[in-house]
Amino acid sequence: MELEAFRKSVDDWLDDAAHELDPAFAGRGTLEQRMAQIAKVRRLAFDAGWARWGWPEAIGGLGGSTLLRAYLSEAVTIRDLVEPGLYSMPEVLGPSVIAFGRPELSSQMLPPLLRGDEVWCQGFSEPGTGSNLASLTCKALRSHDGWRVTGQKVWTSLSQYANRCVLLTRSGPVDSAHRGITALFVDMDSPGITVRPIETMDGEQEFSEVFFDDVSVPFERTLGEEGKGWDFAMDVLPYERSTALWQRAALLVRRLGDLVAASEPGALDPTELGEVTQLVYAFRARSRATQHRMAMGGELGPETSIDKVLLAASEQALFDLVEETLSEQVTVGDDPDSDRWRGEFIYSRAATIYGGTAEIQRNIIARRMLGLGADR
Amino acid sequence: MIEGEERELFDRSLERATADHTGAALDAVLRELGWREALAHDLRAAVALLFARQGAANATSGALDQVLTNALGDTAVANAVVLPPIGRCCPPGSLVDSRLRVRGIGTASIQPSGTALVVARSGHSDLAFVVETGSLPRHAIDGVDPTLGLTRIEGEVAGATEIGAVDWRAAVAIGQLALGHELVGASRRMLELACEHSLERVQFDRPIAKFQAIRHRLADTLVAIEAADALLEAAWLDGVAQSAAMAKATAARSARAAARHCQQVLAGTGFTTEHPLHRYIRRILVLEQFLGSTRTLTTELGNDILEHGQLPSLLPL
């Protein structure tokens, strides 16, 4: 299907199914409510076929350009049906699991993910492993009937809801750095896994600590080759910094429009509003170009760090303007709209931290795009 | 359309032309290369390729005037256009008791003898006039970038011939895109100069490129440049005047960021006239003021949004 026709069909469907799709809560809603809403939108969109376009047929998709699924994610965000941060997870993990996992694994696991029946989480960061991902220590030992995993992950989003975990482990010697990493696809109901949610500043339990105590993982759940988990991670990270962000651009545009509508006459400074608009539109233009590059078969690499830096800058600038303009709502408002502005303002502070900090993105740009060499 | 190998060859010719020539000599080479024909044939390619190269080489030419006369629909009668006053994007002319007054800036394309276009606001429409350049009240300007050969034009113009209504805003939009590409070209060159320096300059026994404070400034410069380039592309694709204004404002803001970061990395060297950086900084200071400064365009954008309660149009995926 062509993008133009898809756009029209999806828009028509979203109009027709609006009563079913609309959230049952006002404002931001609780995390539980938002997760249930996302599952519902996924199921309806999958059953109607729209959520299958842009994904390969081998995993239950209907084929076609990746722009199709990018459009769907934009459309459900512009209509305020889902929260991008939670909704975009299949965009981050799906393509790499398809590329590195065994065909039987992805054909079995992707359909329930895309239909919203299952949730995945991404077990990369550890207490001692943030920006320096190659230092991870969560251990995977070979046994006669599979891997035995012991260690700890942290900042693992949605892990208390997750059915599966895409996990990076240390299968080589302690000092093997990026050479001794193996990626595994782990069932979250495996014996030995404990999830301890952490409350964030915006009052949510969006991420957790995850403990692995001698957890058994079959060999056929290895993603890519043993010891080649770094390649898998390097495949995932550019998606986290690019395709998933297109939907975030849609959210920023929507909330910028909402800000204009919610502001009292004279409350918004025109020059500040103009500058934030330029920033948001520049980020969106960059992200749009990235979606097209990927659809044309281009590989995603270090240049996606530019998309991530632009997202963080424009999101924080937008919500700084929100905080200045709707100060009363953000600081002391108790209604659902105020609660949402406040939650989003606080969440925007994390934009320079999650998905690779502002600092590591700049290091990547300096080393791999400007040719400035290693920093040590 | 100029595509594939043809585009690459054309771009390489423009790179050589702008590296080896500037001013009237560059205009002559551009005529030989058929750049003006390319402008009629593939506006985007002709504008984007030449202005990026011109910016990178710190060259000057009459190309901006040609882009504007072309966009105003009359390339035969004049090859120069009076630009709005510094920082502004309104037409430079006005009609007072049916007499044409002008307040604006002339580029080096305005020769002592020849013709130029002056656009004047008249009610709700914009009228174009052809004037003899000799009759323009002109004063030479040195200013921050004397190599541009600018003149200040202010006063009444005798003997102007009206040639009809024109779409000034549309012409300004194409001019803004041209300037946007020139600013991006200049910014990319400044970044190259600063990166080269950071790899050569050794302090504390290592190239300063090893220091994160330096690396992050240079990375931020690239991010700013790519943001501007993305908006330029979007503006070409959607053809909306407001998008061109956003792209130009962003390109100029990015160029100022590039200048700030690169001058800091080049430090003392970049503050002297012995290093080429100062020429780029001079140039972008002036280009920022042509066809609307960042401040003017940004405030105008904010006012438009507030007045209509509506964000700028969104380029569809």
Residue B246 sits at the chain A interface (C-beta within 8 Å): yes
Burial class (CB in 10 A: 0-12, 13-18, 19+), A360: middle
B317 in contact with A, Cβ within 8 Å: yes
Average pLDDT of the residues in B248-260: 98
Kindly report the nearest CA distance between residue A45 and chain B, in angstroms.
Answer: 19
% of chain A exceeding 70 in pLDDT: 100
- The answer to whether B87 faces chain A, any CB pair under 8 Å, is no
Contact with chain A for residue B195, Cβ under 8 A? yes
CA dist., res. A101 & res. A107, Å (int): 10
Residue B74 pLDDT: 64
Q: What is the pLDDT of residues A169-181, one digit of tens each?
A: 999 999 999 999 9
ipTM of the shown complex: 0.97
pLDDT at position A285 is 98
Q: Using an 8 Å CB-CB cutoff, list chain B residues near A363.
A: 212, 215, 219
pLDDT band at A375 (very low <50, low <70, confident <90, very high): confident
| Residue A271 with chain B: CB contacts under 8 Å | 295, 298-299, 302
Residue of A nearest to B192 (CA): A370
Both tokens assigned to B17: 């032309």
**Would you place residue B97 in the very low, low, confident or very high pLDDT band (cuts 50, 70, 90)?**
confident
Is A240 labeled as catalytic in the residue annotation?
yes
Relative orientation angle of helices A270-295 and A304-325, to the nearest 10 degrees? 150
* Residue with the two structure tokens 């700013």: B224
pLDDT score of A72 more than 90:
yes
Split at pLDDT 50, 70, 90, the class of A243 is confident
Q: Dmax over Cα atoms in chain A, in whole Å?
A: 71
Q: Over the stretch A268-300, which tens digit does the pLDDT of each residue have?
A: 999 999 999 999 999 999 999 999 999 998 889
CA angle A227, A232, A236 (to 5 degrees): 155
- Evaluate whether A184 touches A203 at the Cβ level (below 8 Å): no
Read off the pTM.
0.97
Element (H, E) at A330: helix A327-332
pLDDT tens by residue, A13-25: 999 999 999 999 9
Residue B73 pLDDT grade (very low, low, confident, very high; cuts 50, 70, 90): confident
Structure token pair of residue A87: 């909704």
Query: In the A/B pair of chains, how many CB contacts fall below 8 A?
Result: 145
Pick A241 or A71 by higher pLDDT. Answer: A71
pLDDT of residue B10: 97
Lookup: tokens for A183:
């990626």
Candidates B218, B250, B311; nearest CB to A372 = B218
pLDDT band at B171 (very low <50, low <70, confident <90, very high): very high
From the list B67, B290, B64, B54, the residue with the least C-alpha distance to B186 is B54
B240 touches A: beta carbon within 8 Å:
no
- Average pLDDT of span B24-50: 96
Residue B113: pLDDT band (50, 70, 90) is: confident
**Which regions of chain A does DSSP assign to beta strands (E)?**
120-123, 139-143, 146-157, 164-170, 181-187, 193-198, 207-217, 222-223
Minimum mean pLDDT among A157-161, A200-204, B19-23, B81-85: which range?
A200-204
- A369 interaction partners in chain B (CB closer than 8 Å): 219, 222
Asked if residue A376 has pLDDT above 80, the reply is: no
The residue annotated as part of the active site, out of A74, A206, A240, A315, is: A240
Contact B305 A274 (CB under 8 A): yes
Residues of A with CB below 8 A from B249's CB?
Answer: 274, 278
Mean pLDDT computed over B184-192? 98
3-state secondary structure of B300: helix
Q: Above 90 in pLDDT, residue B206?
A: yes
pLDDT bin (cut points 50, 70, 90) of residue A162 is: very high
Q: Confidence class of residue B285 from pLDDT cuts 50, 70 and 90?
A: very high
Mean pLDDT, chain A, rounded, equals 96
Mean of all residue pLDDT scores within chain B? 96
Whether residue A244 has pLDDT greater than 90: no
Q: Do B309 and A260 touch (CB under 8 A)?
A: yes
Q: Which residues from chain B sit within 8 angstroms of residue A272, using beta carbons?
A: 302
Instruction: Determine the pLDDT at residue A299.
Output: 87
Question: Which chain A residues are within 8 Å of B310, Cβ to Cβ?
Answer: 257, 260
**Facing A278 at nearest CB: one of B195, B216, B250:** B250
CB–CB of A310 and B305 under 8 A?
Answer: no
Q: Do A282 and B298 touch (CB under 8 A)?
A: no
| A270:B306 CB<8 A | yes
